A and B are shown apart, each in its own frame.
Chain A
Amino acid sequence: MDTLERKRNLTRILVHLILILVSITMLTPFLWMTLTAFKTTTEATSVNPFVILPSHWRTDAFSAVITYMDFGRLYWNTILMIFFRVLLAVVTASTAGYAFARLRFPGKEIFFSLVLFQMMVPSQIFIIPQYLMVAKLHKLNTIFALVFPGMVTAFGTFLLRQGFKSLPRDLEEAARLDGCNIGQTFLYVMMPLTRSSMVALGIFTSVFAFKDLFWPMIVNTDKNMLVLSSALAKMQGQYVSKFPELMAASLIACVPMIILYVLFQKQFIEGIATSGGKL
């Protein structure tokens, strides 16, 4: 083996070592969450000896948090919030994205600058008036309140506009010659071709709705109307140092999204990161 080859091998091993070390750092919190969730509080807080694996895999912590909080309800609220946000985002963003990408009409530039402007402003500046609007409509503690700020999406409009811009123009011409009006051309020809952008927007919207804490926490305070993340915030006060319970609740909240991620990792990574990079 010549020295160059040996050097290459050494580099390769070093690179793997670094990446394995980083992977361990990324996975340890999830692993520790899982291990703690199956322990008793005594085991979790034992220092001498320090307990790594639970002696028995107990599910007491899980039953405790499930009795304290109706997780079925939390999942349901979270899913409804995500469903309506995704539906509205995809519908409004693809129609607007198409118009901004392909149609000519007066006011287009001004209206598009609204889209760009919204993306540049920190979203907290909208929160108080949005909250007051929901309160005035007597819609606090409803699914509507959870969906409200996400009914339209500047980011999604931008993303879909990029998607439509990348399609060839001949398609529309052909559809027009076949007698389609603009609405039909959009619905039957153009929209189906931006499926990958719509999927990306759907995943992006779902993940960020799922992660959001601030808005669900302020609009829905009724125990039955919480979502997973705001329920965790509430439980933290309840189970101050009952670590197995807190970890069990965190695990229940995170596992479905993690499973979906592992199954559709390519779409997730593209939807969340790559579409963010297209701005």
Chain B
Amino acid sequence: MGEKRRGLSPRERSEWFWGWLFIFPTVLGLIVLNIIPIFQTIYQSFFKTGDFGKGNIFVGLKNYQKVFGDQEIWQALANTFRYAVVEVPFSIALSLVLAVLLNRKMRGRSFYRTVIFLPMVAAPAAVALVWRWLFNTEFGLINHVFKSSVSWISDPGIAIYSIAVIGIWSILGYNMVLFLAGLQEIPHDFYEAAEIDGASGVDSFFHITLPLLSPTIFFVMITRVIGALQVFDLIYMVIDETSPALPKTESLVYLFYRYSFVNKNIGYGSTIVVLLLLVTLLITVFQMLAQKKWVYYG
């Protein structure tokens, strides 16, 4: 031990001291605000909250059994998937096209970029309110422009897709900027060489852009799927509690909100959010495995 002591130079000792001092607030915060809460949430999911939020009764796996038999949960899971399955692919495909179109010297480039990114700085609560108004069946701008009379957000069959449209509109600019950053990394000579070989723009897109951009696409996909599985704000703001479309639009996080903070059943709310964690992890792991088939690391 004495030897070890001597092996520690003043410089090393000072690095230890400053290192620990510098990370202390962050590590303490992460432990108190994040690490302990994860265990508390998992712990709570084995308890039933008594009436009026009073008292905890240990119920073992009962909450989980209830979740698996709960039609409402399965429906919420299906709603969440429906939302994600529309929002993620469409927002990625559209923003990819926009990024490719903007990835050149052209007039108005920064104007277009600024405008398309604009929804990112608007509060989702406000965005939801204005879309709710645009989607209004009787007086909405959309039905007026298309001479239609669709109940975009009150028809249980289509409401979740209308909400996904809002989601796409909101996230388009964000994805596009990430893709633009990725496109800058692709050397211009590749395209010139392809053009000399007689490749069309479409050929270049599929044989140069897509493979070389695939790591960025993969990153965007992972983060967008995680984000889409957590959809809440838009649904909460667009769909009224009394709307006939609510059962067909409420997401897992919406149910989590309702059980935990409206019904004050913290035990069941925790179970729902643990389910969300498991679903998210499962899908992320699956995507990580699937990437080997299509992501190109040059």
Contact = CB atoms under 8 A, between A and B. Distances in A.
A89 B257 CA distance: 27
A258 B122 contact: yes
Interface size class of B (residues with CB under 8 A): 35 or more
Nearest to B230: A122
Contacts of B25: 91-92, 95-96, 152
The interface residues of chain B, by DSSP majority, are classed as: helix
Interface stretch (B68-76, B134-142, B152-160): B134-142
A218 B158 CA distance: 29
Nearest to B174: A273
A100 B15 CA distance: 11
B40 interface: yes
Interface string B2-27: 00000000001011101111110111
Given A26-B115, A128-B260, A243-B133, A232 B22 contact: no
Contacts of A228: 123, 125
A114 B30 CA distance: 7
Contacts of A232: 123, 125-126, 129, 237
A130 B123 contact: no
Interface in A49-104: 50, 91-93, 95-96, 98-100, 103-104
A196 interface: no
A251 B219 CA distance: 33
A129 B115 CA distance: 39
Given A99-B23, A124-B256, A149-B33, A47 B226 contact: no
A189 interface: no
A265 to B, nearest CB: 5
Interface string B23-56: 1011111111111111011001000000000000
Contacts of B16: 105-106
A164 to B, nearest CB: 11
A131 B101 CA distance: 46
B34 to A, nearest CB: 5
Interface in A118-159: 118, 120-133, 148-149, 151-154, 157
Given A125-B276, A130-B37, A257-B121, 10 more contacts: A26-B118, A32-B130, A128-B260, A129-B41, A214-B253, A232-B125, A243-B136, A261-B121, A273-B178, A273-B181
Q: Which 9 A-B pairs have the closest CB atoms?
A: A152-B29, A105-B19, A129-B37, A250-B126, A99-B22, A273-B177, A96-B26, A103-B19, A182-B18
17 contacts: A29-B127, A33-B133, A45-B138, A92-B29, A99-B19, A99-B20, A129-B37, A131-B261, A182-B15, A229-B124, A243-B133, A246-B133, A254-B122, A257-B121, A258-B118, A258-B121, A265-B110
